[in-house]
Structure 1
Amino acid sequence: MITIQRIRVRWSAAARGAPQANMRRGLCRPVMLPPSLPAGDVVVHDVLADEANGYTRQDEVAGGGVQLARDLDLWLSTETSRLVVDRLPGRAVYPRQSGPGSLFTLLPGQVGRYRANFRFTVTTRACNPSWYYEDWLILVANDQVRGDELVSRKADHDVDHRVHLYGGRRRPSQR
């Protein structure tokens, strides 16, 4: 079984300032898994904290096949008992990704952590784009995990692709 938890924090261009950033601080971190998880080769726990609803966390859980990972812009493949996790190009306007990118290879029982942030556009009118931003934390376990394992456990592999979304230099890596 493969367990994936994606935490997303979403905010509008109007909420780019320091007071709003303070409200978002600490929201993009692992959370407890629901007590009962669905059956499937892949289980996804998707959590969204959106500015539009006061950063109240909303979560969904789904079980099924590898298509669930593709819906998260991830490509999963197995090599014997190893799980190879790649990043697929997504809908983000910035930073652009031209093709798949390798994230990590997990042995049985290992956990990988992927951090990234993005800017998306929501309008179809090119003359007046409207932006929103997301900060992502994705944890992938090549194993079945329960409860607070993803909260308390240190990742075996750590990939940080966060950038400065508002222009300027690349954000320093924070572990």
Structure 2
Amino acid sequence: MIVIQRVRVRWSAAGRGAPQADARRGLNRPVTLPAPLPAGDVVVHDVLADEAAGYTRRGEVLTGGVSIARSLNLWLTVDGSAVTVERLPGRAAFPRTGVSTRLFTLTHGQVGRYRANFRFRFTDCACDPSWYYEDWAVHVSNGHVAHDRFPRGEPDHDVDNRVHLYGGPGRRSNR
């Protein structure tokens, strides 16, 4: 079993100020997994805290094969007991990624964390300058995991691809 938890925080261009940043601070932290987890090769717990909903966290649980990770812009490759996790190109306007990026390979029992943030257009039309932003924390476990493992434990692999969405120098990436 592969368990993936993506915690996203979403806000509008109007929510860029310091008071709004304080309201969403810490909301991208992992949460306890629902119990019991459904059976499946891959279980996804997708959590969203949206400014439009007052930053109330709402989650859904999905199950399926390794292809279900594509809904999170991830690609999973299973090789024996190891799982390689890649980030697929997405529809983010910034940062633009045109190729897939290998994040980490997990042996059985290991957990990886991928952190990133993005700026998206509300529409695909370049004539509409409206933006929204997302901050992601994605945890992936190769094997069954305790319900509190993501919020309480440290990952075995940590990739931080967060950038300055409003301009300025980028952040350092840990690999």
Structure 2 match to 1:44: 44
Tell me which stretches of 4 or more aligned residues in structure 1 moved more than 6 Å. none
The question of 1:120 aligning with 2:120 is answered yes
Preserved CA contact (<8 Å) 1:35 1:146: no
Residue pairs, 1:77-92, within 5 angstroms: 77-92=77-92
Uncovered stretches (5+) of structure 1, i.e. residues with no partner: none
Q: 1:71 aligns to what SS in structure 2?
A: helix
Cα distance, 1:38 vs structure 2: 1.4
Residue pairs, 1:4-19, within 5 angstroms: 4-19=4-19
Preserved CA contact (<8 Å) 2:92 2:118: yes
Task: Measure the CA separation in 2 of the matches of 1:48 and 1:128.
Answer: 24
Preserved CA contact (<8 Å) 1:122 1:130: yes
Preserved CA contact (<8 Å) 1:111 1:157: yes
Task: Measure the CA separation in 1 of the matches of 2:128 and 2:91.
Answer: 18
Uncovered stretches (5+) of structure 2, i.e. residues with no partner: none
Task: Measure the CA separation in 2 of the matches of 1:126 and 1:104.
Answer: 34
Q: State the identity %.
A: 65
Amino acid at match of 1:168: G
- What's the RMSD between the two structures over aligned residues? 1.2
Q: Deviations over 1:40-64 (max 9, x none)?
A: 1000000000000000000000111
Cα distance, 1:171 vs structure 2: 2.8
| TM-score scaled by length of structure 1 | 0.96
Q: Deviations over 1:55-90 (max 9, x none)?
A: 000000011111210110000001221110011001
Preserved CA contact (<8 Å) 2:160 2:172: no
Task: Measure the CA separation in 1 of the matches of 2:37 and 2:79.
Answer: 25
Cα distance, 1:169 vs structure 2: 0.8
Give aligned pairs, total. 174
| TM-score scaled by length of structure 2 | 0.96
